Amino acid sequence: MATKKGLQIIASVASIMSVLMYVSYIPQIISNLSGEPSNPIQPLVAMVNCIFWTIHGFFGLDGKTRDRAIIFANVPGIIFGFTAALTAII
């Protein structure tokens, strides 16, 4: 059985890894702005997914329980996913 402290460590590591995953869009954004646009579908879908996870993080299953790890992990996905998709389109 997992302890509360162990689960907090897992949540922290998972949040950091998620942020790093979305920050990795930066080279794609740079390529898009340099005239080598990529397909916008994946970052757009990632952005929508992150929107839903962020809403869940704010309200939880009971409508009032916040999960800061989920919020922290997904807000960069909204920002970088949107930016990557937008720069691929324009």
Q: What is the pLDDT of residues 16-35, one digit of tens each?
A: 999 999 999 999 999 999 99
pLDDT at residue 74, rounded to an integer: 97
Does residue 72 register a pLDDT over 90?
A: yes
DSSP 42-63: HHHHHHHHHHHHHHHHHHTTTT
pLDDT at residue 79, rounded to an integer: 98
Q: What is the pLDDT of residues 39-61, one digit of tens each?
A: 999 999 999 999 999 999 999 99
Does residue 1 register a pLDDT over 90?
A: no
What tokens appear for 20 in the block? Answer: 């790093």
